[in-house]
Structure 1
Amino acid sequence: MISQTKISNGFQTVVPARIRKRFHVGPGDIMEWILTEDGVELKFRKKVTMDDILGMVEEPETDAVELKKKAQRGVKN
C-alpha cells in the first residue's frame, strides 16, 4: 500500500484517510518521526489527557472521620 501526500508551503501535510482510520489517528494525536539508516519511520501516539492520568491514580480515602482518627493516631496513609 502506497500513499502519497504533498508538503505545503507552510511545511504541512495531510495524513491520508485510510491511514487515519486504520491507526485511529485524530486531532491532538502526536506523530513521531524516527530517523533510521534506511530513511524515516513514523509512529502515532495518542495525546495523554487529564482523564487518562486521573484514571491511573487510585482515589484517596475521603471519609473525613476516618482521616481524622488516623491523623490523631499518627497513622500515615
Structure 2
Amino acid sequence: MAVERRYKPRTGPARITFPMDHDVSPRLRAGDHVLIAIPGHASSPDAWSTGEKQIAHDRAWILAELKKSRTSACDQDPASG
C-alpha cells in the first residue's frame, strides 16, 4: 500500500505491507483510498475505512484520540519519571 499521509509516527516508509484475512469486509482493492489504523508494534491494522465520508468520520475520531494521548501518562516510560 502506498502511504500518502501519516499521523503517528510522522515518518516512515513510502509503502507498507501487512497481512489481511480473506474474509474481512470491506476488501481492499488496488486503487482504493483507505484510512488504516495500526496499533503500535502490531503488524496489521485494527481498523480501516474506505469511502470519503467514512474516512473523514474515522479520521476525526482518530485525530481527537491522538490529541488526547499527548497528555496521557500511559505512553510515558515509568522509569523516566
Shorter-chain-normalised TM-score: which range?
Answer: under 0.3
Q: Which has the higher strand share?
A: 1
TM-score (norm 2): 0.26
Higher Cα radius of gyration? 1
- Bigger RCO (CA 8 Å, 6+ sep): 2
